Chain A
Amino acid sequence: MPEPHAAGQQRRGHLKIYLGYAAGVGKTYQMLEEAQRLKAAGTDVVIGYFEPHGRKDTIEMTIRLETVPRRRVEHRGTAFEEMDTEAIVRRHPQVCVVDEFAHSNVPGSARGKRWEDVRALQDAGIDVLTTINVQHIESLNDQVLQGTGIRVRETVPDWMMQEADELVMVDVTPRALLHRLERGVVYAPEKAQRALENFFTETNLTALRELALRQAAHQVGDRREEALSIVPQPASAADNPDRHETIVIHLTADPSTAMLIRRGKRVADFLHAHCVAVYIEHDANWSDLSPSEKEAVEKHLSFSRNLHIETKFLQGDNVPETLVAFARAQKTTQLFLARDAGAKQIVKLARDMEITIVARRRR
Chain B
Amino acid sequence: MHERAFCRPNPDELLRLLSAQELNESRGRLKIFLGYASRVGKSLRMFEEGRRRQERGQDVIVGAVQAKGSGELAEVLSGLEVVPLLHRDGRDYLDVEAVLKRRPQVCLVDELASDNPPGPQNRARWQDVEEILEHGITVVTAINLQHIREQQDAVERITGKRARNCVPEAFIRCADEFVLVDAPVADFSELREVALLLAAEVVESQLQRYLDLHHIQASWGTQERILVCITPHSDAATMMQSGKRSAERFHGQLVVAYVAQDDITREDQENLDRHLELARRLGVEYHALQGRDPIGSIIEFARAQRVTQIFVGHSRQSSWRFWAANPLDRLIEAADGIDVRIFPHPQNA
Contact = CB atoms under 8 A, between A and B. Distances in A.
Contact of A214 (B1, B2, B223): B223
B337 A171 contact: no
Nearest to A134: B222
Interface string A94-138: 000000000000000000000000000000000000000000000
A165 B185 CA distance: 10
Interface string A340-355: 0001100100011111
B27 interface: no
B341 A334 contact: yes
A356 B179 contact: no
Contact of A227 (B182, B188, B344): B188
Interface of B: 1-2, 31, 176-190, 192-193, 196-197, 199-200, 203-204, 206-207, 210-211, 216, 218, 220, 222-223, 242, 245-246, 249-251, 309, 314, 328-329, 332, 335-345, 348-349
A175 B199 contact: no
Given A213-B199, A220-B192, A227-B188, A351 B314 contact: yes
Nearest to B249: A270
Nearest to A333: B242
B348 A143 contact: no
Dominant SS among interface residues on chain B: mixed
B188 A224 contact: yes
B341 A355 contact: yes
Given A203-B216, A213-B196, A221-B193, A352 B246 contact: no
Contacts of A344: 329, 332
Contacts of A175: 176-177
A256 interface: no
A357 B339 CA distance: 6
A156 to B, nearest CB: 19
B251 A214 contact: yes
A65 interface: no
Band of interface residues on A = 35 or more
Given A171-B179, A210-B203, A354 B341 contact: yes
A271 B249 contact: yes
A353 B203 contact: no
Interface of A: 16, 30, 34, 143, 146-147, 165-166, 168-173, 175-176, 202-203, 206-207, 209-211, 213-214, 216-221, 223-225, 227, 230, 263, 270-271, 334, 339, 343-344, 347, 351-362
Q: Which of A214, A227, A354 has the largest number of chain B CB atoms within 10 A?
A: A214
A334 to B, nearest CB: 7
A225 B211 CA distance: 35
A220 B196 contact: yes
A339 B178 CA distance: 39
A233 B133 CA distance: 51
7 contacts: A16-B186, A172-B179, A173-B177, A175-B176, A206-B207, A214-B223, A356-B339
